[in-house]
Amino acid sequence: MEPLEHQTLIPLPDELRGPRVLLRPYRAGDAEALFEAVQESREHLRPWMPWADGHQTIEDSREYVNRSAARWVLREDLSVGVWEARGRRYLGGSGMHRINWRLRRFEIGYWLRASAEGQGYVTETVHLLTNLAFDRLDANRVEIRCDARNMRSAAVAERLGFLREARLRNNELAADGSLRDTLIFALVRADRHPPEPER
Ligand SMILES: CC(C)(COP(=O)(O)OP(=O)(O)OC[C@H]1O[C@@H](n2cnc3c(N)ncnc32)[C@H](O)[C@@H]1OP(=O)(O)O)[C@@H](O)C(=O)NCCC(=O)NCCS
């Protein structure tokens, strides 16, 4: 997609903080933590995130970190690392992808290292990113997509009040090559800022 005229000037925060998580764009030096988290999580990620097996060596993770940082600067894709706010342990990845700046539409993605699952970190992460999108980036639409079999992922969207809009049947191949249905959840501007009731 053609970039906006001054796309790299779109203001973005250096980090987002919640009570328990800190989100920030990747930078050189994050690759070790990312690689260690992927190593720990291969079985857990494989059914849903085929890219995880692309991280076979630390150089693969360095390449990913550098590319993510570059795409952040270009405002092409806003990937963030998710860190424990206090302990600074790396917990996983998230971000806003498949961005259409003209339409101001964003798709939020997420994953956690296996040992960080079940503690609410991703719900807090997606809440922070959704607020960033609507409150500071003037979003019209924020989407979450997932494999219909991925109950934990769908539960995140539902917990945050995203509306389930569609189930696209047989529209993609899953990581194991099987046909998958995709669920689409979304929030739109009017969900966040309902019009004033008429008097
Ligand atoms: C999808 C995924 C990120 C969801 O992780 P998760 O830990 O279930 O999600 P959250 O971090 O929001 O945690 C919610 C869980 O923590 C519990 N929890 C504990 N403390 C909590 C708190 N303070 N706030 C909210 N939830 C809390 C919730 O009860 C819930 O547990 P339950 O499902 O057993 O009821 C994770 O399963 C994953 O990484 N999967 C592999 C990658 C993947 O599928 N990514 C999505 C692709 S579309």
Taken in order 178, 143, 55, 66, is the CA torsion positive or negative? positive
Q: Rounded to whole angstroms, how far apart are CA atoms 94 and 48?
A: 14
Closest protein CA for atom 33 of ligand 1: 118
- The proportion of the chain whose per-residue pLDDT surpasses 70, expressed as a percent, equals 99
Segment 55-63 mean pLDDT:
96
The pLDDT value given to residue 182: 98
Spacing, Cα 41 to ligand 1 middle (Å): 14
Segment 80-106 mean pLDDT:
97
Please report, for residues 9, 140, 149, 196, 199, the alpha-carbon distance to residue 137 in angstroms, rounded to integers and kept in the order given.
Answer: 12, 9, 31, 22, 31
Q: Rounded to whole angstroms, how far apart are CA atoms 188 and 136?
A: 14
Segment 57-64 mean pLDDT:
97
CB 108 near ligand 1, within 6 Å: no
Spacing, Cα 156 to ligand 1 middle (Å): 7
The pLDDT value given to residue 92: 98
Pair 25, 80: CB distance under 8 Å: yes
Please report, for residues 3, 98, 128, 165, the alpha-carbon distance to residue 140 in angstroms, rounded to integers and kept in the order given.
Answer: 18, 14, 16, 15
Atom of ligand 1 nearest to the CA of 147: 48
pLDDT band at 51 (very low <50, low <70, confident <90, very high): confident
The pLDDT value given to residue 192: 87
